[in-house]
Amino acid sequence: MTKARFYISDKVQEVGYRPLIMEKILNSDLEGTAKNLPDGRVEVLLEGEKEKIEAFFEEIKKEKPEHAENPTFSKLTFDETLFVPKAMRSSQALMLGQLGKGVDVLITVGDDIKGMGNDIKNMGGDIKNMDEAIRDMSADIRKLPERIAEAIRK
């Protein structure tokens, strides 16, 4: 599994690009989302097998909404650090009338959140250790002016 991003620019907002892309994502094996950016572009985030992402990208370049004029596509870039939000997929599925897919995503997101509870509980010990380390550093910092003055005297 890999993650990728591309942008579509020119007259691409308010012409149906996001719904077109989301419908294609929802009907594929990919995870992903499309969103309008303040600068007028549409950003597309995808997660899945590299070959399927590349095929999706090539397919979407050949198809455009009726009112889109001359869309320009950025280079498809792969980046494992991208965050591809599943919750957006749910809301967009519901928007497109694909209730079943939207509910499935919500259930998955709910399970992810439940699993995070254990992670958060485990972080308690780490936070306690950090708190102790910060107290130790604070004591050292309070002694610093005294040490500097002593060093200057020497």
Residue 39, domain CATH: 3.30.70.100
Question: What range does the domain containing 33 cover?
Answer: 2-115
Q: Is 18 a catalytic residue?
A: yes
pLDDT of residue 76: 93
Please report whether residue 73 resides in a domain: yes
Please report whether residue 129 resides in a domain: no
pLDDT in tens, 63-76: 888 888 888 899 99
Low-confidence ranges of the chain (pLDDT < 70): 86-128
pLDDT of residue 15: 81
Please report whether residue 111 resides in a domain: yes
- Report the alpha-carbon distance of residue 147 to residue 76 in Å, rounded: 56
Number of folded domains that form the chain: 1
pLDDT in tens, 34-66: 888 899 888 999 999 999 999 999 999 888 888
Please report whether residue 24 resides in a domain: yes
Please report whether residue 9 resides in a domain: yes
pLDDT of residue 123: 66
CA distances 142 to 62, 71, 135, 149, 152, Å, are 66, 61, 11, 13, 17
Candidate list 36, 70, 118, 147, residue with the active-site label: 36
The three-state secondary structure class of 15 is: coil
Candidate list 5, 18, 41, 89, residue with the active-site label: 18
Q: Is 27 a catalytic residue?
A: no
The residue type at 80: E
Please report whether residue 121 resides in a domain: no
